[in-house]
């Protein structure tokens, strides 16, 4: 159950980081209104809180989160920007997830 809870925190953090960053991107790169920037900033602050709920040390959590971020970014690009991943994206994503599993969940 702890692994599922931890995975949920990773996914939630990733969605907040990518979603907040995307709103900032839309404001700066695509000329959307300032409300996009404000909401993006709020969401990014909330992203900073979510990893503190993880049951591991700061360094381990952030190292593993990098792998989750890679996969979620690929999925975001596919779902939101309509850019399907190629085989190298998929291979890289799987390798990064293997790193997450080893860093966070390998028995110590």
pLDDT given for residue 1 in this prediction:
77
> Domain containing 57: what range?
2-105
Q: What would the pLDDT profile of 38-56 be if each residue is shown by its tens digit?
A: 999 999 999 999 999 998 9
* Per-residue buried b or exposed e for 31-68, using 16+ beta carbons within 10 Å of the residue's own CB: eeeeebbeebeebbeebeebbeebeeeeeebeebbebb
By C-alpha distance, which of 90, 18, 102, 91 is closest to 64?
A: 102
pLDDT per residue as tens digits for the range 81-107: 999 999 999 999 999 999 999 999 999
Number of domains present in the structure of the chain: 1
Give the predicted TM-score (pTM) of the model. 0.88
């Amino acid at each position: 159950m702890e692994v599922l809870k931890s995975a949920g925190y990773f996914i939630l953090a990733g969605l907040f980081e990518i979603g907040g960053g995307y709103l900032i991107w839309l404001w700066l790169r695509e000329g959307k209104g300032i409300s996009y920037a404000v909401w993006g900033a709020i969401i990014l602050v909330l992203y900073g809180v979510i990893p503190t709920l993880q049951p591991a040390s700061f360094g381990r959590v952030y190292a593993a989160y990098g792998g989750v971020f890679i996969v979620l970014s690929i999925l975001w690009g596919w779902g939101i920007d309509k850019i399907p991943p190629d085989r190298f994206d998929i291979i890289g994503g799987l390798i990064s997830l293997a790193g997450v599993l080893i860093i966070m969940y390998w028995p110590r």
